[in-house]
Amino acid sequence: MGALLVVMLATAMMLVFSMAAIDASRSAPYRQSFCVTWRFNVDVNNLRDWKTVPKSCESYVGSYMNRGDFSQDASLAMMEGVSFAHSVFNSSTTAGTDAFSYNAWVFDIDDTSLSNLPYYAKHSFGAEAYNDTLFSAWTAKAICPPIHATLDLFNSLKDLGFSIFFLTGRSESERNSTATNLLGAGYSGWQGLILRQSEDEGVRATLYKSAKRKSLEDLGYSIVGNVGDQWSDITGYSVGSRTFKVPNPMYYIA
């Protein structure tokens, strides 16, 4: 009887270990499936006001940003921007004249035009809480690399004669480092760099950026295209004829 009990217990333990092994083997694919779904819902703006990337998705977000998926997604979006810009140019009665320059495009900077991936790679790809002091120290170095798909769109727009404005949530005190970084990354020939002034501090991004775009319209510009990585870059009012979004699963700005 004692021997039979030992055998039964051993069999039960083997079954438990076997089930645990099955669960472990399924956990990684299940986790990735959740993270793919999470990122999709971030991209289409179903998930809002989130503070950090789920810790279980840190590895997935890092892989998405580093292994070609992000570059492919951003490239397709920016290629559509190039196609749209050419259609506007080809249908314009002022193409090739000074008057055409009143057709404007607005670009966000952080993780739209310049990449902060080197910073976020050291900070859990957004799975740790945002630290303004550390991030400001990073951007002050003015070494953010370009997002190449966005730079390609920028250069195409410049060749066609569009006016290009950068509209960022960075503060006026960061003007020199921001301009230096843009120029060093290959962005030259833009018409304006719009940063937060003292009166803009504390204003939600959607309202702040809408008001600044409206100011461009008040100067006589027609906003043809608007490019950003956050929904707050491309929603609100005075958003332009078309908007183009660069994916960003690392953080959310309202």
User: Is residue 8 pLDDT above 60, yes or no?
Assistant: no
Strand partners, 196: 171
User: Is residue 3 pLDDT above 90, yes or no?
Assistant: no
Q: Which residue has the tokens 């993270």?
A: 35
Instruction: Specify the higher pLDDT residue, 204 or 19.
Output: 204
Q: What is the mean pLDDT of residues 101-129?
A: 99
pLDDT for position 27: 62
User: Is residue 30 pLDDT above 80, yes or no?
Assistant: no
pLDDT digit string (tens) for 42-58?
999 999 999 999 999 99
Confirm whether pTM is higher than 0.95: no
pLDDT for position 2: 52
User: Is residue 114 pLDDT above 70, yes or no?
Assistant: yes
Q: What percent of the chain has pLDDT over 70?
A: 88
pLDDT for position 163: 99
Among 103, 104, 112, 122, which Cα is nearest to 182's? 112
Residue type present at position 139: T
Q: What is the mean pLDDT of residues 198-219?
A: 98
DSSP H or E stretch at residue 107 = strand 103-107
pLDDT digit string (tens) for 133-165?
999 999 999 999 999 999 999 999 999 999 999
Residue type present at position 13: M
pLDDT for position 19: 30
Q: What is the CATH number of domain 48-245?
A: 3.40.50.1000
Strand partners, 107: 166, 227
pLDDT for position 28: 67
Q: What percent of the chain has pLDDT over 90?
A: 87
Decide: helix, strand or coil at residue 164: strand
